Chain A
Amino acid sequence: MSATASDTGGKFYGSTIGKKIVMAVTGAFLVLFLVGHVAGNLQILSGKEKINHYAELLHSSAGLLWGFRLALIASVVLHVKAALELYTLKNAARPIAYAKKAHRVATLASRFMIWSGYVLGAFLVFHILHFTTGQAHPSFDAHGDVFRNVTTAFQNPAVAALYVVCMGLVGLHLSHGLFSFTQSLGLSHPSYSARAKTLAKVVAFAVAAAFAAVPIAVLAGFVK
């Protein structure tokens, strides 16, 4: 019997580890995107021209932009598809729940990955409608005045609060997701995986805090 390409593919994605590896790789890509995203966001602290110029730069090549957007969409789709499939398997793996269940070491983040995932999925839709396409924005400027779009939006405390809370969830999701990434790809090792856990938390909350800094700065009046 000889293995064919589709055999290999089936063995890979057909197994729970294959699905986890897909989640790890797509998740890692999305995290890298978030790091770039937040680095861009923080330019708003340097003023209107800086951020608007940056936005213009991003839109300069439609091909590149859409190529990147498609990669992002694909990542999100694959990440969510694998997550939902695994979640179904998980429920099948334990059809009868425990009457009493302790949590010995599981962190809040790790236990609520699927729920933080659901909320972030919904947030993602809102966020695109809010800042990319504008339907959810009360006074959207479609001509690239990103600065105005952001500041007017976050001057509403409810909107700012929503973003801050969701960024907290991003931090939570990433704090476990980044560690899980090292496990799923087999990057961990007895001598550094304790540090991997800590590092994952640091990166996750740094990203989240950087994102949250913008609405907080706007609301607090630092950015006008």
Chain B
Amino acid sequence: MDLDSRIPEGPIEKKWDTRRFDMKLVNPANKRKYTVIVVGSGLAGGAAAASMAELGYNVLNFCYQDSPRRAHSIAAQGGINAAKNYQNDGDSVWRLFYDTVKGGDYRAREANVYRLAQISVNIIDQCVAQGVPFAREYGGTLSNRSFGGAQVSRTFYARGQTGQQLLLGAYQALERQIGAGKVKMFPRTEMLDVVTVDGVARGIIARNLSTGKIEAYAADAVVLATGGYGNMFYLSTNAKGCSATAIWRAHKRGAYFANPCFTQIHPTCIPVAGEFQSKLTLMSESLRNDGRIWVPTKKGDERKPGDIPEAERDYYLERRYPAFGNLVPRDVASRAAKLCCDEGRGVGPGGRGVYLDFSDSIGRLGAGTIRERYGNLFDMYERITGEDPYTVPMRIYPAIHYTMGGLWVDYNLQSTIPGMFVGGEANFSDHGANRLGASALMQGLADGYFILPLTVGNYLAQTTGPKVDTTHAAFQDALKGVNATTSKLLGIKGKRTVDSFHRELGKLMWENCGMARNEAGLKDALQKIPALREEFWKNVTIPGVGAEMNQELEKAGRVADFLELAELFATDALERKESCGGHFREESHTPDGEALRDDDGYCYAAAWEYKGPKERQVLHKESLAFEHVHLTQRSYK
């Protein structure tokens, strides 16, 4: 199948307008005759479900948590970008577009990014109207901050809980539709398969996590908004339940998986404390606005930070990147931290940490101002580490945070399975090889509120197939398949726990496919992953039965999928011999060690097609054209 990205013709500023005008519309009276399944209730899923219900469609919304309000969008701290230019500092739709394409290291689709920047302004309006309590100035206007290295102040925020507040806005809109009977909510329900009839997505199979009952659900279209797959690394900033299961199983049903190796490592997380560590906690990168990052100049310096004199501290970001200093993009900051620790200059237990020091800012602005800006983050740091960041520098280390890769979608956010749309982090679309801070929330809400409701409608207006229900053979076959997999997992009764496999996979991926990748390491991973997967299917142990709440069974299914996705991840990373954004190949760097892109060889999105359990996946390339933001080497010097 050819990859048709279906980008509208015409100048980039008009493309979205053109598409909106060209779209087929469903007659208002007919909308209630259509049912749409939305899997996931985060910013993209929740917003899409609510907005489509407002339009009149019947929506079935699924989430694995006990309430749609808990989707992991809730954990985003820093903010949401929008090209409002309320600060009169020279921002514009064009500048946000430009920054996002450049920040993504030229591996995103220009047309999608431009649309994202256009829609960003509507998102803020919508959220304010819903009652999102954004930070305000004394005059009552919205407050903005500069975030993640942006040269303009375009980030809107609600304390350090912006994701929570935006999600609650979408959740409240969703609950309004649930109350109105337009959305039927299925909490504690995990999607385990997509059902296609004649190659078109017509429903899903899902397991009720409270009762264990596996059931089929039919619809006229399916939207996946199930987030990213960072938990493949076991330790990540993702919630424990985040998984690739929905998108991976869709992939196995025919949806291409794009750029799986594009992962974002967030530079400011709390370091690992011990073997028992179950997840990593992010400290918003807004902290880098006032904190200075350093390590001792000497290797293995065991002194307390306060005892290390100024002359023996290496403020390595300020030294290497004088123009951006501590505010370089996430990928650059993360790699620099890794380099210092690899040199033996890391701090804290195991030497995997660097200092983020506020003493200068506290001296300059006073502890009160710092508390006002970051009090909640400092409190969280102290709760977790037991150390007081007002007096002792924070210790931070990079951690897996976001996956830019995901299911391939066209301009309409439709996957290669007709009738199946993918929104938010689950798709690959807008961030290229590196996502800018405060852009994930923007993309999730753009997809959910403003794009999917229209493009799904356009699809529905053109569907001609007969209505199907779950008695159709395709549903019954899919049900049988899911039941068989569940029984198989429960029947292994081996010796190792699910977590032990997950930890081993995570360690392997972090070592070989983490912040820096090389051919030998990736090939090593490609040897070890299938072996680990094989052992998993022979030796995992899952207590209990399927017909009850069984949290080990839930985890097992997710780890089984990670074990497959990991192989594709390493394959993709091996295939892409250039460095770009979050993907750093040690073989491809500039003389001074910065990531070096190879635009002649790799200026494409890699979309992988599943061919069967034993087959090598087939690579399809969507070549990317940069007509407006010209290809240049990123430099933050």
Determine whether A and B are in direct contact in the complex, meaning some CB atoms lie less than 8 angstroms apart.
no
Give the A-binding residues of B (Cβ under 8 A): none
Give the B-binding residues of A (Cβ under 8 A): none
